[in-house]
């Protein structure tokens, strides 16, 4: 499908973009290897018998790393966000992630402060 | 579409789902799909929050020895919960790690399917689509195994807060994976009918987006539910 | 310039399907007329009109339940309704008005108007648009079948846990509420995706974001709110369904469950919900006030960004509905401050409307009067709203009639007045004739008097301490007078509201008797591009894509400065308007699948409630619908498209008449 015949309003490069800007297969394998290693480290970390923040914080960091790798590379979010020529629609998704995190963290905060106050 | 007049191209130029004058220069379908996934974030966020809250309430009641709650599960299990102060004894981490890994692998095979169809490589498209569907099915199989194991150990959907919340959260995710498998199999079927050529790469990409999203949700669930109990 | 829906998954792009009707049933109806046309249409204008008609039907149901409430409360110790019946009536009144009246009227305007204002032929996914409507309608009807199947829901429109559990509400009313709204929610979600895609991706050439009409902006914000709010309600309702139907324990206090989970989930949805009910009305009056003040909207960017700001801040204030639920002082203070802040962008809007009217040549016709009614009454409602933002004050007011007065001032005096204004304004574009002005004035003044008589006294009743949701009050409480006044007012209001429909009927009859005179493309000297096409809007909307060069584009084409710098009319709307010639335009064809797919949901819903066996035929219909939908050719690829075949294309176009 060629867009060349479409006149003034087709200011777009959506189709060739797929071909050039996305990572090569090799990069996918590399990302996958990183994900696999992260998962292994996560599981190992949970067996160290740590408690409290020492257990939770590294796990959260690794979880977020995995999240961003999958969303950023496999879902092309990183590439789409970087290309501002009409690709900013993915902000709708990125915005939803941020919104969800903030809203639900506030819910937990209200529960936390309620218990802190009322016991 | 090379031998048509300009008028016809204008008539048809949205065959990619691009709408009549794609103001953002991308297909409507893709935009809509991202919006849908954005909406799903709030859905899973609410489910995960409900799970965390319910589990915390459950453990608090167990530690306080609330007879209504303590009586819902076998005494040994309750004792373990009380000793640990968490629901960790319920989980089989090595097994779940393995099935998480399977789902991660399926994300890789999904991107490979997409890059194969972009290149017009039919054989590899089928191979990787099939692999993805198979890995997804293994994951679902693992989940069914886990659920039955939990039932045998005495955790059911109805007996207490923890059971309800756990089965609802993982069950919702499982339903999403199953939906993805059905989509993948439909694509595979189309491919064998010869209807999935490289002009339909976007369809594969969209199913891929969904699949990765479901995978990403599992990344969160795996850490939040299993590793930080 | 066809609108081809995003290709269904199963249909390779551009490949003509060798089996135009793969499942052998429900082939695309060509040239459908009458009833069949309405059932299968994918035209955004018809769907918008159907949303409006459905909302009017539900408005009557909700209105009757409101009058039942007022009859019961007209005198002390009244026994007109039992306590149980009263619970059902006020719960269903709130539910119907919020979910089945105000939301769908907003959807009606968004559907009918937004594609016209952005210069599109249709929405991005016409079949999904039809599906959204049918699923909403079936969900709403299912909700209302509860009246005949064991009674309506009785826990208030927000159905707090644990009151919503089987133990406290054993009738199936709450199940109908729950599952009916879950189904309607599917429609809202698909509608939101569809409309956002349309606004973002299908604007006419030249229409950049800052040249979009304010109504389009408000639609965009509203649909984003829906997109993100509906799933939260869905989760809350699914958890409730699992509790009630499948014995789970999410809200089971005996098992240590925290009932605040429901409140949080409900209000995380519920507060964006109140903004998504009012913002479409804000958009409507932002179109009407400039037109009848003969001035551009004052501070367009402020208007846009205050709407967007309301959209964002609407997510950060939900717990102000929960000030007395024991959140603890820190949360209460934080949400209290956030709530005060959200009054700022709302105030900006009020100021901008006033400044638009200031110094303008006002035409006080019915549409304008209703708009001014919104500005005035919404301000009163907004001010009483700020008084709830102050937590100590809210502690006194919560669950009293003061709250009832507040939200009726914003929702009825605000949103509904705006919607009626919109009906008077765009009626000629939808149907080809104006609504009568004389009856319109009666309509307006009747509604203003009735409305303020009904809800004004409720402020006093609330401050006197009359609790809401109580079925009666004692003679000695000193509440008799204002309750009686409110009840009298409610009947005036009811009659006056019905005048909208009476006016529509009489005006239509008069118009037909006069031989259907042409109202002209631009009866109000309008500002936006929907007035540049014929009235009623032709099936294909625009003959050629309008090219937009400025905000209020159509107005700038009609008026220009002369040498002395004075603004002069250079053309009339009728001269500039497109003639409505649909030659060569290829429209998406009608389809049965949206209604078939939508019909499967209530069947599954009844199955979940009464006997799981029913979910099997429902599920089969769902699968059939999904596959039929995706295998159906997205458009009539078999129809010829080039210019030699106008006759055929005209035939397709005519099917929409």
Question: Is the Cβ pair B168, C239 closer than 8 Å?
Answer: yes
Of the pLDDT bands very low, low, confident and very high (cuts 50, 70, 90), residue A118 is low
Q: Which domain, by its residues, includes B102?
A: 28-227
Asked if the structure places residue B149 within a domain, the reply is: yes
Question: Is the Cβ pair B52, A22 closer than 8 Å?
Answer: no
Asked if the structure places residue B19 within a domain, the reply is: no
The pLDDT, as a whole number, for residue C630 is 83
The pLDDT, as a whole number, for residue A27 is 86
> Which of C228, C264, C331 faces A96 most closely, judged by CB atoms?
C228
Asked if the structure places residue B61 within a domain, the reply is: yes
Q: Which domain, by its residues, includes A53?
A: 1-87
Question: Is the Cβ pair A99, C330 closer than 8 Å?
Answer: no
Indicate if A73 and A104 belong to the same structural domain: no
Output phi, psi for C379, to 5 deg. Answer: -65, -40
B vs C, Cβ pairs < 8 A, gives: 186
**Calpha distance B35→C620 (Å, rounded):** 28
**Does an H or E element contain C45, and which?**
helix C44-73
Q: Which two tokens stand for residue B68?
A: 């209504």
Write the CB contacts of C229 (distance below 8 Å, at least 6 apart in sequence). Answer: B42, C268, C269, C272, C273, C276
Q: Which domains are delineated in chain C? A: 44-538+544-577 (1.20.210.10)
The pLDDT, as a whole number, for residue C650 is 33
Give the residue ranges of chain C where pLDDT is below 50. Answer: 1-17, 637-657
> Which of C15, C202, C235 faces B21 most closely, judged by CB atoms?
C202
Evaluate whether C112 touches C190 at the Cβ level (below 8 Å). no
**Chain A partners within 8 Å of C545 (Cβ):** 9
**Calpha distance C88→C65 (Å, rounded):** 9
Question: Is the Cβ pair A118, C205 closer than 8 Å?
Answer: no
Indicate if A6 and A55 belong to the same structural domain: yes
Asked if the structure places residue B122 within a domain, the reply is: yes
Question: Is the Cβ pair C260, A111 closer than 8 Å?
Answer: yes
Evaluate whether C135 touches C114 at the Cβ level (below 8 Å). no
Q: Which two tokens stand for residue B128?
A: 């990787």
**Calpha distance A64→C330 (Å, rounded):** 29
Indicate if A111 and A76 belong to the same structural domain: no
In chain B, % of residues over pLDDT 70:
89
Output phi, psi for C559, to 5 deg. Answer: -125, 145
The pLDDT, as a whole number, for residue C599 is 95
Question: Is the Cβ pair B61, C258 closer than 8 Å?
Answer: no
Q: Is C567 helix (H, G, I), strand (E, B) or coil?
A: strand
> 């039955």: which residue's tokens?
B148
Indicate if A30 and A73 belong to the same structural domain: yes
Indicate if A33 and A68 belong to the same structural domain: yes
**Calpha distance C407→C468 (Å, rounded):** 13
Helices (H), C74-171: 83-95, 103-118, 126-144
Residue B20: is its pLDDT beyond 50?
no
In total, chain B counts a number of residues equal to 229
**Does an H or E element contain A113, and which?**
helix A90-118
Residue B148: is its pLDDT beyond 90?
yes
Q: Which two tokens stand for residue B60?
A: 């608090």
Q: Which two tokens stand for residue C354?
A: 């006033």
- Alpha-carbon distances of C55 from C97, C114, C411, rounded to whole Å: 9, 18, 15
DSSP classification of residue C121: S
Indicate if A96 and A49 belong to the same structural domain: no
Question: Is the Cβ pair A96, B38 closer than 8 Å?
Answer: yes
**Calpha distance C57→A83 (Å, rounded):** 48
Residue of B nearest to A24 (CA): B115
DSSP classification of residue B18: -
Mutation target to probe the B interface, by most B beta carbons within 10 A, among A100, A105, A111 is A100
Mutation target to probe the A interface, by most A beta carbons within 10 A, among B2, B13, B199, B219 is B219
Indicate if A75 and A97 belong to the same structural domain: no
The pTM for the full model equals 0.90
DSSP classification of residue B194: T
Helices (H), chain B: 6-12, 28-64, 67-70, 75-84, 93-118, 122-153, 161-192, 201-221
The pLDDT, as a whole number, for residue C566 is 86
DSSP conformation letters of C189-236: HHHHHHHHHHHHH-PPTT--GGGS-HHHHHHHHHHHHHHHHHHHHHHH
The pLDDT, as a whole number, for residue C21 is 64
- Alpha-carbon distances of B53 from B40, B166, C413, rounded to whole Å: 20, 11, 39
- Alpha-carbon distances of C348 from A63, B51, C309, C354, rounded to whole Å: 42, 41, 11, 10
Domain count of the fold of chain A:
2
**Calpha distance B134→C414 (Å, rounded):** 55
- Complex confidence, ipTM: 0.90
More confident residue, C237 or A2: C237
Question: Residues A65-113: pLDDT tens digits?
Answer: 999 888 888 887 776 665 544 455 677 788 888 899 999 999 988 888 8
Average pLDDT estimate for B82-91: 88
Domain count of the fold of chain B:
1
> Which of A25, A75, A92 faces B115 most closely, judged by CB atoms?
A25
Question: Residues C273-321: pLDDT tens digits?
Answer: 999 999 999 999 999 999 999 999 999 999 999 999 999 999 999 999 9
Question: Residues A3-53: pLDDT tens digits?
Answer: 333 333 333 333 444 444 556 788 889 999 999 999 999 999 988 888 888
CATH code of the domain covering residue B73: 1.20.120.80
C620 cis-preceded (ω within 30 degrees of 0): no
């Amino acid at each position: 499908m060629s867009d060349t015949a479409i006149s003034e309003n087709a200011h777009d490069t959506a189709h060739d973009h797929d071909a050039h800007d996305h990572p090569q297969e090799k990069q996918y394998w590399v990302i996958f290897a990183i994900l696999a290693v992260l998962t292994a480290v996560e599981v190992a970390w949970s067996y160290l018998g740590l408690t409290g923040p020492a257990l939770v914080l590294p796990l959260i960091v690794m979880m977020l790393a995995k999240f961003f790798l999958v969303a950023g590379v496999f879902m092309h979010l990183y590439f789409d966000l970087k290309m501002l020529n009409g690709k900013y629609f993915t902000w709708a998704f990125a915005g939803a992630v941020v919104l969800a995190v903030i809203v639900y963290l506030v819910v937990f905060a209200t529960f936390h402060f309620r218990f802190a106050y009322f016991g | 579409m090379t031998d048509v007049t300009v008028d016809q191209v204008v008539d048809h130029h949205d065959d990619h789902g691009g709408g009549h004058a794609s103001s953002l220069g991308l297909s409507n379908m893709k935009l809509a799909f991202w919006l849908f996934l954005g909406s799903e974030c709030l859905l899973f966020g609410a489910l995960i929050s409900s799970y965390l809250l319910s589990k915390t309430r459950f453990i608090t009641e167990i530690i306080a020895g609330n007879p209504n709650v303590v009586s819902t599960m076998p005494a040994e299990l309750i004792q373990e919960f009380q000793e640990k102060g968490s629901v960790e004894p319920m989980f089989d981490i090595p097994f779940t790690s393995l099935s998480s890994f399977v789902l991660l692998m399926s994300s890789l095979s999904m991107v490979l399917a997409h890059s194969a169809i972009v290149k017009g490589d039919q054989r590899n498209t089928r191979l990787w689509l099939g692999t993805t569907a198979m890995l997804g099915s293994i994951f679902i199989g693992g989940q069914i195994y886990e659920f039955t194991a939990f039932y045998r150990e005495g955790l059911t959907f109805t007996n207490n807060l923890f059971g309800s919340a756990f089965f609802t959260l993982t069950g919702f995710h499982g339903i999403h994976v199953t939906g993805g498998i059905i989509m993948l199999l439909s694509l595979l079927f189309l491919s064998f009918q010869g209807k999935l050529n490289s002009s339909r790469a976007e369809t594969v990409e969209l199913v891929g987006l969904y699949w990765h999203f479901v995978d990403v949700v599992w990344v969160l669930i795996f850490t939040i539910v299993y590793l930080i109990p | 310039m066809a609108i081809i829906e995003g290709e269904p998954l199963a249909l390779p792009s551009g490949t003509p399907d060798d089996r135009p009707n793969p499942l052998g049933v429900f082939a695309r109806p060509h040239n459908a007329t009458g009833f069949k046309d309405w059932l299968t249409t994918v035209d955004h204008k018809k769907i918008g009109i159907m949303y409006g008609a459905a909302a009017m039907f539900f408005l009557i149901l909700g209105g009757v339940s409101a009058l039942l409430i007022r009859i019961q409360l007209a005198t002390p110790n009244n026994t007109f309704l039992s306590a149980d019946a009263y619970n059902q009536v006020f719960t269903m009144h709130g539910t119907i008005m919020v979910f089945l009246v105000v939301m769908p009227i907003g959807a009606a305007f968004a559907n009918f108007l937004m594609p016209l204002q952005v210069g599109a032929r249709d929405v991005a996914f016409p079949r999904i648009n039809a599906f959204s409507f049918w699923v909403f309608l079936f969900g709403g009807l299912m909700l209302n079948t509860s009246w005949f199947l064991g009674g309506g829901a009785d826990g208030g429109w927000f159905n707090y846990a644990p009151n919503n559990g089987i133990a406290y509400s054993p009738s199936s009313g709450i199940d109908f509420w729950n599952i009916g709204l879950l189904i309607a929610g599917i429609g809202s979600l698909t509608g939101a995706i569809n409309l956002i895609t349309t606004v973002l991706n299908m604007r006419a050439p030249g229409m950049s974001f800052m040249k979009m009409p304010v109504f389009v902006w408000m639609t965009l914000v509203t649909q984003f709110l829906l997109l993100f709010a509906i799933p939260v309600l869905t989760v809350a309702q699914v958890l409730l369904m699992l509790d009630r139907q499948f014995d789970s324990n999410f809200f089971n206090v005996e098992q240590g469950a925290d009932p605040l989970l429901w409140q949080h989930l409900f209000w995380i949805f519920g507060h964006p919900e109140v903004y998504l009910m009012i913002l479409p009305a804000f958009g409507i009056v932002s179109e009407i006030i400039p037109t009848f003040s003969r001035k551009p909207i004052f501070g367009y960017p402020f208007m846009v960004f205050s709407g967007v700001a309301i959209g964002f801040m609407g997510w950060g204030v939900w717990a102000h509905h929960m000030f007395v639920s024991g959140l603890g002082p820190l949360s209460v203070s934080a949400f209290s401050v956030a709530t005060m802040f959200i009054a700022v962008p709302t105030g900006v809007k009020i100021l901008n409307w006033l400044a638009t009217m200031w110094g303008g040549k006002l035409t006080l016709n019915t549409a304008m009067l209703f708009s001014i009614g919104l500005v005035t009454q919404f301000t009163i409602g907004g001010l009483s709203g700020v008084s709830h933002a102050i937590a100590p004050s809210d502690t006194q007011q919560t669950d009293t009639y003061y709250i009832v007065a507040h939200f009726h001032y914003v929702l009825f005096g605000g949103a509904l007045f705006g919607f009626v204004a919109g009906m008077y304004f765009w009626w000629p574009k939808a149907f080809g004739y104006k609504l009568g002005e004389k009856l319109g004035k009666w309509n307006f003044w009747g509604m203003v008097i009735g409305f303020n008589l009904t809800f004004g006294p409720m402020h006093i009743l609330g401050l006197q301490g009359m609790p809401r949701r109580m079925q009666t009050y004692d003679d000695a409480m000193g509440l008799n007078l204002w309750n009686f006044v409110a009840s009298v007012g409610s009947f005036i209001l009811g009659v006056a509201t019905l005048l909208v429909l009476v006016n529509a009927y009489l005006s239509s009859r008069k118009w037909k008797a006069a031989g259907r005179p042409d109202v002209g493309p631009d009866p109000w000297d309008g500002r936006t591009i929907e007035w540049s096409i014929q009235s009623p809007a032709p099936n294909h909307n625009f003959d050629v894509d309008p090219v937009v060069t400025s905000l209020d584009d159509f107005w700038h084409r009609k008026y220009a400065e002369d040498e002395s710098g004075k603004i002069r009319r250079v053309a009339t709307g009728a001269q500039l308007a497109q003639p409505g010639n649909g030659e060569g335009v290829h429209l998406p064809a009608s389809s049965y699948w949206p209604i078939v797919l939508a019909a499967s949901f209530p069947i599954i819903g009844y199955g979940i409630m009464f006997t799981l066996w029913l979910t099997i035929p429902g599920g089969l219909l769902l699968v059939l619908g999904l596959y039929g939908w995706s295998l159906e050719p997205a458009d009539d690829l078999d129809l010829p498209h080039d210019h030699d075949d106008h006759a055929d294309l005209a035939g397709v176009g005519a099917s929409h008449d």
